[in-house]
Amino acid sequence: MNEHLIRQFYTCFQNGDWKGIQACYRDDAFFYDPVFENLEGPEVKAMWEMLLKSARDLKIAFSDIHADKDYGSCSWVATYIFSRTGRLVENKVLARFKFQDDKIAEHQDSFDLWKWSRQALGLPGILFGWTPVLQKKVRVMARKNLDKFLASHENL
């Protein structure tokens, strides 16, 4: 059952179907990744809507789905143009899930933020992407964008 949920999630992702992605989550879901860090409830669903609405040339591939009644995992790759710099990014991610009531209750994406910053930001990412200062700047910008998106979508 939960393998199907993971497959549904990533198929929606491939198709840019943010509403389908949102339907895979519990309303009180928790999400973590190296950029957004800790998101809860409406923030999780808003993040996917924001990302998919702004995505350029997004391609998603997924594999290695494993799940039981409580936990699951999946490897996935996002290839896209980073909108701020126009640079091509290929981000390899390992996702881990916790399920409850046939929905995703917790979702953690793991990837190398320095590798991402080298691709997305170019020379600044190469030189400084490993530093806490640049990583914090990336996180602050992502949070600012999400807060702005949430403010403009008060019904979330």
Could you give the 3-state DSSP secondary structure of residue 47? helix
| Topology of the domain covering 2-152 | Nuclear Transport Factor 2; Chain: A, (3.10.450)
- Give pLDDT, residue 124: 84
Q: Where are the domains of the chain?
A: 2-152
Question: For residues 87 and 81, what is the distance between their CA atoms, to the nearest angstrom?
Answer: 5
For position 154, what pLDDT does the model report? Answer: 66
Question: Judging by DSSP bridges, how do beta strands 25-33 and 59-67 pair with one another?
Answer: unpaired
Mind listing the pLDDT tens digit for each residue in 71-103?
999 999 999 999 889 999 999 999 999 999 999
C-alpha to C-alpha distance for 147 and 17, rounded to whole angstroms: 21
Integer-rounded Cα radius of gyration of the chain: 15
* Amino acid of residue 62: F
- Write the CA distances from 124 to 3, 82, 121, 134, 145, integer angstroms: 39, 14, 6, 9, 20
Distance CA 90, CA 88 (A): 7
Ordered DSSP codes for 79-129: EEEETTTTEEEEEEEEEEEEEETTEEEEEEEE--HHHHHHHHHSHHHHHHT
pLDDT at residue number 153? 78
Q: Which of 94, 87, 90, 129 is nearest to 108 (CA)?
A: 94
pLDDT at residue number 55 = 83
Weakly modelled stretches of the chain, pLDDT under 70: 154-156
